Amino acid sequence: MPKHKVITLAPVVLDRNGLAAAETLASTGLAFTLDGALADSTFDRNGLVASVTPTAETVLTLVSAAKVLVETNKPVRVSVFGGSDESGKVLHVNGRNKFGGIIHEAITMPNADTIFGTTDFYEIISITASAATTGAIEVGINGKYKPVVPQYIAIYSGSNDSSRTYTVTGTDRYGDDVTEDITGPNNSTVVGLVNFQTVRAVVIDSTGSAGAVEVGIDGTCSSQWYVTNYRGAAADLNIFLDVISGTGTYAVETTMQRLDNDSGNKEKNVIATADATITGKTADFQGQINPMPLAIRLACTAFTSGSARIFINSN
């Protein structure tokens, strides 16, 4: 008997605001506060610098726990809160990138708001206010999301945000940095096509949002790719779909693209095609795929609860 491969999927149900609660973004603050219930590390408004009112250009004092906060949650993106109009001043952040190199970000301070930087810091060395501020400011970090299972990102708007672009930044299931641009919804929910393992930023383009927007996860996702023995003698694949529990709709997806480091294809750049026979399945099913694809995966296209798996065998 030939050995079989097993791929299992157990998604988390749709959570429309699991990453970011309803927020209307203006052109002066284009990043969401990642403080939803699914956040692995939550937004900490004063986790780097406690409330302070600089009276001149000043190197701000980092709180004692700042180093541990960054080390635990790296990479981090810096947040700046000001209760007054501080938009004419700049916060200079110095730190290190993932390779240990020195990096710098100049963040224009907010006008009675919280804004976020766009640089990933793996260490914070110093933070300097460029001038005296009108009122107190606080410096911290945005939250970050790490799901139980890599899943697609969902964006909901009760207004027409279809002319906006939302950019999600994080890592895929292989630990590689990945970004995805998602066209905004029109009084609906739109879903991305990248399975995110972590999310560290969600930003909108320069126009801001038309109304309150929520960011979460969709109940749908797909598994890792399984590379077949396409160079072998076998001509086809035998597939058995086992819906283990719950209520969900599943499909088998294939690709004829190479999946290796040389091709640069792992997930985002791969064209996935649903098999014509093993698709839209809500119960156990046995089928065959011919000709042999280069890779195969299990996809969940609608989900309420439970899990499923496929057994893959070649003839």
**CATH topology classification for 44-141:** Jelly Rolls (2.60.120)
- The single residue listed with the structure tokens 């930044």 is 169
CA separation, residue 127 to residues 49, 63, 231 (Å): 9, 11, 56
- The single residue listed with the structure tokens 């694949």 is 237
CATH 2.60.120 location in the chain: 5-12+223-314, 44-141
- The single residue listed with the structure tokens 């970050």 is 144
Rounded to whole angstroms, how far apart are CA atoms 241 and 250? 9
Dihedral angle computed from the Cα positions of residues 170, 190, 217 and 164, in that order, rounded to the nearest 10 degrees: 40
Q: What angle do CA 248, 250, 253 make, to 5 degrees?
A: 160
Please name the residues in contact with 64: beta carbons below 8 A apart, sequence gap of 6 or more: none
Could you report the per-residue pLDDT of 171-186, keeping only the tens digit for each? Answer: 988 888 889 999 999 9
Please name the residues in contact with 231: beta carbons below 8 A apart, sequence gap of 6 or more: none
Nearest to 272, CA basis, from 313, 222, 237: 222
pLDDT at 1: 38
Please name the residues in contact with 233: beta carbons below 8 A apart, sequence gap of 6 or more: none
Of 2.60.120, 2.40.128, 1.10.8, 3.40.50, the CATH number of 5-12+223-314 is 2.60.120
pLDDT at 313: 86
Other beta carbons within 10 angstroms of residue 299's beta carbon come to: 19
- Write down the pTM of the prediction: 0.87
Give the tokens for residue 160. 């027409």
Could you report the per-residue pLDDT of 193-235, keeping only the tens digit for each? Answer: 999 999 999 999 877 898 899 999 998 999 999 988 766 555 6
Which of 21-35, 121-135, 224-238 shows the lowest per-residue confidence on average (mean pLDDT)?
224-238
